Amino acid sequence: MERGLVHRAMSTPVGELGLVASEEGLMRIAFVGDDIPETGVGDDIPETGVGTEAAEQHVYRAIEQLKEYFAGERREFEMDLDHGASGFRAETQLALTGVGYGETVTYTELAAMVGRPRAVRAVASACATNPLPIVLPCHRILRADGGLGGYRGGLDAKRWLLRMEGSLRD
């Protein structure tokens, strides 16, 4: 039996975000204009039947916490996730929560944090495919030379997030 998913969009200072939740938890945050078609859902998110009440609660809890984050009232997220990744990619993406609000680390440092110091490219790939940006804060990961590197939501969004958190100053 396929899980019912709930899809919602929200406006934020870094653009419109598409959120998808299952009855297990939040499973996707996508930037409009990056990888979300007009429907507000990523191409890889299946359109399934009507979402369950649990999925509705997960998506609305995520929206409320994201609003608090963008208002400067929240520094950590407390919500159920339906992450979906496995293996090293999942381990790396979940390790992103170890980089606190207002902090940054390099891809090299993140590779060391997950116990694979030579896997810098794999770590960068895991960050690039993070299904839950902002909640799993891949925007806090920088290149070894201190440059921003890439970001699914664009470099302007990454700069904005880092400035808001106080870890990037002009």
CA distance 7 to 84: 16
Residue tagged active-site, from 17, 123, 138, 162: 138
CA distance 121 to 24: 30
Asked about 127 being catalytic, the answer comes back as no
Report the relative pairing of strands 15-21 and 6-12 from DSSP bridges: antiparallel
Asked whether 24 and 36 are in contact (CB, 8 A), the reply is: no
The residue behind tokens 């400035």 is 163
25: tokens are 């938890």
126: tokens are 């895991």
Which residues belong to the active site? 138
